[in-house]
Structure 1
Amino acid sequence: MLSKKNIYQDYLDDLIRLLSDTSIVIDTTTKMKKKIDNMQFFMPVIGEFNSGKSSALNQFLKTEVLPVGITPEIELAIELYSAVETKMCVQKKDGNLITYAEIEWESIKADAEQTQVIQLYFNNIILDKIKPFILVDMPGINGSLPEYHHFINNEYLQKGVYFLVVISVENGAISKSLSAYLSQLKKLDKPFAILINKIDLKSENEIKEIAEYIREQVTHEFGKNYPVTILDKDNKSQLSNFISSLDINKIMDDLFLNDLKDHAHEILNKISALKRGLKNSSEENQTDIFKLDADFQQLQYNYERILADEDNFDAVKITQRCAKDLINQLKQKSNDLAYLAIEDKNQQAFLNEVFRIGEKSINSTLKQQLEYVNEEVAESFSLNLTSFQFLKMQNTNFESKGLKKIVFGILSKLLEYIAMIIRPLKSFIQDYRVEQFNIKFQQDLIPEIKAQIEMLLPECIEKEFHQCIQQIKNKLENELQKTKSIIENIEQERQQQNVDSNVAIAQLNEVEQKIKQLTENVLYVGV
């Protein structure tokens, strides 16, 4: 039985072949085919430092390939590949790639701060069995390099297709920092499973109680679609069984099916536009071209008006709302933060909690503000476009999907700023009592955080907003140009007397029916 990846590859090959007999540009179809061809099924294994991630993976793989007990300062993302020959590829932050013929952990430790990702290749039958999944041993959620942690985890938030979340039975529950990360996974529709580890540290009854509590916690916070599994002490057979039970075809559908359906709909609408141009008289086509030219000018006017209209988007006001909401959250949590700062010798738990609060608060505020902006911008872009209805029929859909992603882009950058802001807090944490630290935190440090956010965030928001608006404009211009090119090509062929409209329409009808049938058989099977 063919996998969905093979089925979708064959489907797009057939689509490209059918479209080659028309004047429709196939660049988007070719890009989709390339994306599926190059698809990698990364399975990040995440958890807090000392949850036993690396040890569990070593036991699962039946080899001590991953270093255990590495200090958090040099925790790195490690991708695991099955290969005949052993080698280690080290991707540096400057873009260079260094390859070792053997696994050289001491060399990595010496230059960890300049390392981005490690790729391990070694002969392992278990990695072979779980293909196409690629396990990634991720840095600890509460490691002591928050900038690297947020950068690399954001990378795999996008690339990961399924996440394994390791929790030590010692913790007894999902921590706040881990809960914040899982909330991100849920927002991005990324599936995950909870794996309870280190069960030798508790009695059988305690393990059952902890597992049940975590299940209730997961159901309450995230829903019922996220399994909770207890890993056995030695060979981690439950992990092997769990990975084997995952439906790779469902994952492919989740990743690509809706996009493929939208693309098929867009192609069929372009065929309809092509047939319309062939049926129209030359005068009618010239009228459509005139309308499209007018829309190019109107689109540029709308674009400039959107950027100039402060009522549409005010980065300073949005920043002020973000800062106000964050400060309120920090004040509400100041006692908890003070206890963390006093009790934790290296203050890492304190820093991570400030990160978590900032992430949750700013993400929530930006999302609320930008969803409103999204509606306003979509309406403003469509204003006075004479061919707008025709373009909508072609699935132009200029609703700002990119604008909804702005939150993620801004937040990734903002967290780097927050790390810079809170790092000096360590110097304030000596032998304070909780009440004294609380006063110091509220009077001196919270205003500094607010000031830094109000200074740094507006430029970041404006840059992301402008890029997003430019992308929407480019998309609309591209659709206008494609429609215009279809009509102009028809008229050019008419003038050269190289086209019989009736014959061309009949050919397009045949292609259209074949594409409909192909789409029905592949994308709508079982519906």
Structure 2
Amino acid sequence: MLSMQAKYCDYLEKVENELKILDLHSETTQSFKFDEFKEAIINKELTIPVVGAFSAGKSSFINSFLGKDYLSVNITPETAIATELRYSADEKIEAIASSGSPTTYEITEMASVISKSEQFKFIRLYLNNANLKSIAPLILVDMPGLNSPMDLHNRAIIEYIEKGVYYLVLTSIEEGTLTRSMVRQLLDIKEFGKDFSFFLSKTNLRSEKEVEEIKQNLLEQINDYLEMSKEIVSIDDNGGDNLRKLLDKIDPDELIENIFANPLKDQFFTISDSINTAISSFSKTKNENEESLQILESSLNNLIDEKKRLIQETTDQYTNINVDLIVEKIGRKLLDNADELANKALSSDQDELKNTISEIVRHAVIYEMKKIVDNFSDEIVNKFAIKIKEINSETSDFIIPDLWVDKIADSAKKIANYTDSSIKKIIEDRKGRSDTGNMYKTITTALSILSNVLNPVLELVIVFLPNVINMLFKNSNEQRQKEAVKSKIMTEVIPGIKSNVRNNIPPVMKEQLTSIIDNIGSRFEEAITVRKEAVAEAQKKLEKENTDINAQISNYKNALSNINTLANNLIFKIEGA
């Protein structure tokens, strides 16, 4: 276990112990999700996809690091599949089907597994390799080349857009430039806040002067297209040492912190608010607490009604608007690249043309869906916050203070735009278990929303493309001039793709927008429920005979002080706390 994983788990244990002293009801402690957090933190894997064109030398690069040729360098684009490299004393292969179920093979059956790559999402290659062991929990992934068949490449992109925490990008010296395909890949990586390192491979094939000239050209392209500066590392046919040095610079503890710090801060806010609410309730009369409970219960019911209203009245309207945004974005991106598509068509390579169209569509959907999730989530959060503040205007500021509403709104926005699926996956995995109690709704992240829309869009394109591409190649002898092909792309192919997406995506979009409303509403409901439980818990203790109110208040304040110190030292990093 990493140092930061151990620290976070220790922090959660200590906070949980502080709450146990208060003898809280089990429903209250379940609200704080200690088990889910610990399980997510302990099991978090840090996946490092290695991306590049099929001929960029990714497999050779990884083999050099491993010190042995585990990955075949003779795989064709048609059989390429994302391959996770994991340490294990018992060597084996696990091929993961679309359902997520694994099939185990002997390590000697690698060629057979690769030949059936279309049957799997990805494979896990478990190797008894000291170099893999030394980088754990970092997991290298040999990704299909950018020029692999679009179904294999899209499958890998969708799988690892959520799982990837850092990327290694290779461009061959033979390419000498950033291809449009690579630019789109890098923009997708950047869109979701993921970082990458850039390698120029096969530099032994060019003179030192040529290598420096190409590196300078690449630096300028990265700056122009991505508006960022990057170091370019030159590697020859033995790049393992370069990879080892880079991996040594990646701080897994920092990655863990980036993933879990904000969710833990939100959890701390929920806990501290619950304790403060209870402390205030100890100082109130039974009638005052009952009034608070009634107001909170009324607020909860109003929130539930508001959620139903938004789902019923808003999703149809927003579905049509957002589907149109995606369709128009796809159309504009395809039109912007009409020259490139025409050149691909003139090369008579149908597969390459299909791949390029699929890439452009993928990039357009990623870009537009990120904006849709951000904007729609903010708007829904604000609607819920306004609804609660309307109730608050008629009540005591203690019961539902505006500052508290704003804090919950901020938390809900973070959850809606959270770019890691760890906690979401753990909660999904725990659903249905008899020991989970009152499990809270699954967190829906920006990336999972994207995946749920992107996947069906790309599937539609894959199914639809053969028909529209055939239109370009039909009577090819009459259509060899670029302008004629470009015109056909603009007037028939692009409108056909847009129409196909517009006709088939609305149900998927509506489902995802409904999910956003449901999850954001549930975050507010959860926060009010925690506050309501705190008031009820305090009143229950007040009603017990021989209750020492001052002692109860002192215990709660002491627990809150200890939890504040724990949080300040670790998740807020306040010096001297």
- Compute the TM-score of the two structures, normalised by the length of structure 2: 0.84
TM superposition shift of 1:399: 4.1
Please say which of residues 374-383 and 152-161 is displaced more in the overlay: 374-383
Q: 2:364 aligns with which of 361, 371, 382?
A: 361
How far the C-alpha of 1:192 sits from its partner, in A, is 0.9
1:292 CA drift (Å): 1.3
Cα drift, residue 449 of structure 1: 1.3
Structure 1 counterpart of 2:536, from 488, 506, 509: 488
Match of 1:183 among 184, 187, 190: 187
CA distance in 1, matches of 2:316, 2:269: 32
Structure 2 letter corresponding to 1:122: L
Give 2:404's aligned residue: 393
Look up the match of 1:418: 461
Quote the residue 1:7 is aligned against: 7
Alignment check: 8 A CA contact 1:51 1:168 kept: yes
Letter in 2 for 1:253: E
Residue by residue over 1:376-399, the C-alpha shift from the partner in whole angstroms, topping out at 9 and shown as x without a partner, is 322322344225843852742264
Rounded Cα–Cα distance in structure 1 between residues aligned with 2:412 and 2:133: 43
After superposition, the Cα gap between the structure-2 partners of 1:82 and 1:324, relative to the gap in structure 1 and judged at 3 Å, is closer
Question: Which is worse superposed, 200-209 or 504-513?
Answer: 200-209
Query: Is 1:123 aligned to residue 128 of structure 2?
Result: yes
Give 1:326-337 correspondences, 5 Å limit.
326-337=330-341
Q: What is the distance in 2 between the residues matched to 1:391 and 1:76?
A: 52
**SS state at 1:141 partner:** coil
Aligned to 1:314, the other structure's residue is in SS state helix
Q: 1:472 and 2:520 equivalent?
A: yes
Distance of aligned partners of 1:522 and 1:63 in 2 relative to their CA distance in 1, 3 Å threshold:
same
* CA apart distance, 1:514: 1.0
The equivalent residue for 2:566 is 518
- 1:163 aligns with one of 160, 164, 167: 167
What CA deviation, in whole Å up to 9, does each residue of 1:181-213 have, x standing for no partner? 222222222121011111122221111111122
| CA offsets 1:285-311 (integer angstroms, 9 cap, x no match) | 111111112112211332233234359
Cα distance in 1, alignment partners of residues 334 and 288 from structure 2: 63
Structure 2 unaligned residues grouped into runs of 5+: 393-398, 418-445
Cα separation, 2, equivalents of 1:440 and 1:69:
37
User: Which one is further off, 371-380 or 469-478?
Assistant: 371-380
What residue in structure 1 maps to residue 252 of structure 2?
248
Cα 1:457–1:400 change in 2 (3 A) is farther
Which of 84, 91, 101 does residue 86 from structure 1 map onto? 91
1:268 counterpart letter in structure 2: S
Q: Contact (CA 8 Å) 1:90, 1:99: kept in 2 or not?
A: yes
**C-alpha distance in 2 between matches for 1:119 and 1:469:** 36
Which residue pairs with 1:509 in the alignment? 557
Worse-matched range after superposition: 400-409 or 42-51: 400-409
- TM-superposed CA distance for 1:464, in Å, is 0.6
Percent identity, aligned pairs only, is: 25
Aligned residue pairs, count: 525
Q: 1:358/1:122 Cα in 2 relative to 1: closer, same or farther (>3 Å)?
A: closer
Q: CA deviation at 1:70?
A: 1.0
- Does structure 2 conserve the Cα–Cα contact (< 8 Å) formed by 1:59 and 1:235? yes
Deviation, 1:312, is 8.8
Matches of 1:3 and 1:400, distance apart in 2: 29
The Cα offsets for residues 491-523 of structure 1, whole Å up to 9 and x where unpaired, read as: 223223263221111001111111111122223
Q: State the match for 2:385 in structure 1.
A: 382
Matched residue type, 2:224? H
Question: Which residue pairs with 2:433 in the alignment?
Answer: none
Give the direction of change, closer, same or farther, for the CA distance of 1:471–1:524 in structure 2 (3 Å limit). closer
Name the CA distance, whole Å, in 2 between partners of 1:98 and 1:399: 39
Cα pair 1:53 1:137 within 8 Å, conserved: yes
* RMSD of aligned residue pairs (Cα, Å): 2.5
Distance 2:330 2:2 in 1: 51
Q: Is the 8 A contact 1:67 1:105 kept in 2?
A: no
Task: Tell me if 1:38 matches 2:34.
Answer: no
Q: Could you tell me whether the CA contact under 8 Å between 2:144 and 2:153 is conserved in 1? A: yes
Please give the secondary structure, in 2, of the residue aligned with 1:173. coil
Q: CA deviation at 1:62?
A: 1.4
Q: C-alpha separation between the residues in 1 aligned to 2:162 and 2:189?
A: 9
Match for 1:393: what amino acid?
W
CA distance in 2, matches of 1:91, 1:522: 37
Moved more, 233-242 or 509-518: 233-242
- Say which SS state the counterpart of residue 270 (structure 2) adopts: helix
1:452/1:55 Cα in 2 relative to 1: closer, same or farther (>3 Å)? same
Name the stretch that deviates more: 161-170 or 314-323: 314-323
- Distance (Å, rounded) in 1 between the aligned partners of 2:9 and 2:242: 33
Matched, 1:197 2:209: no
Instruction: Report the counterpart of residue 452 of structure 1 in structure 2.
Output: 500
What residue is the counterpart of 1:278 in the other structure? Answer: 282
What's the counterpart of residue 326 of structure 2? 322
> Which moved further from structure 2: 25-34 or 358-367?
358-367
Correspondence for 1:373 among 371, 376, 381: 376
Counterpart amino acid of 1:132?
Answer: P
Specify the code of the residue in structure 2 equivalent to 1:450. K
Residue deviations 1:256-311 (CA, integer Å, cap 9, x gap): 22322332233222211121121221111111111112112211332233234359
Residue 346 of structure 1: aligned partner: 349
| Structure 2 match to 1:109 | 114
SS of 1:118's partner is: strand
By how many angstroms is 1:337 displaced? 0.7
Is contact 1:89-1:98 (8 Å) kept? yes
Partner SS, residue 88 of structure 1: strand
- Give the Cα–Cα distance (whole angstroms) in 2 for the partners of residues 42 and 2 of structure 1: 15
1:4 deviation in Å? 1.9
**Do the aligned partners of 2:47 and 2:141 also contact (CA within 8 Å) in 1?**
yes
Asked if the contact 1:169/1:199 (under 8 Å) is kept, the reply is yes
Q: Say which SS state the counterpart of residue 172 (structure 1) adopts.
A: coil
Aligned residues of 1:62 and 1:235 also touching (Cα < 8 A): no
Partner residue in 1 for 2:293: 289
**Highest RCO, 1 vs 2 (Cα 8 Å, sep ≥ 6):** 2
* Counterparts of 2:544 and 2:525, CA distance in 1: 28
Q: C-alpha separation between the residues in 1 aligned to 2:284 and 2:147?
A: 65
Correspondence list, 1:299-318, <5 A: 299-310=303-314, 313-318=317-322
SS of 1:84's equivalent in the other structure is coil
| Partner in structure 2 of residue 150 of structure 1 | 154
SS of residue in 2 equivalent to 1:103? helix
Q: Which residue of the partner structure matches residue 54 of structure 1? A: 59
Q: Is 1:140 equivalent to 2:183 in the alignment? A: no
Residue 366 of structure 1, CA deviation: 4.4
Indicate conservation of the 8 Å contact 2:187/2:226, yes or no: yes
1: CA distance between counterparts of 2:462 and 2:546?
66
Moved more, 11-20 or 390-399: 390-399
Asked whether the 8 Å contact 1:163–1:193 carries over to 2, the reply is yes
Task: For structure 1, list consecutive stretches of 5 or more residues without a partner in the other structure.
Answer: none
Amino acid paired to 2:183: S
Confirm or deny: 8 A CA contact 2:81 2:114 kept in the other structure: no
The one of 236, 261, 285 equivalent to 2:240 is 236
Q: CA deviation at 1:453?
A: 1.7
Q: CA deviation at 1:484?
A: 1.6
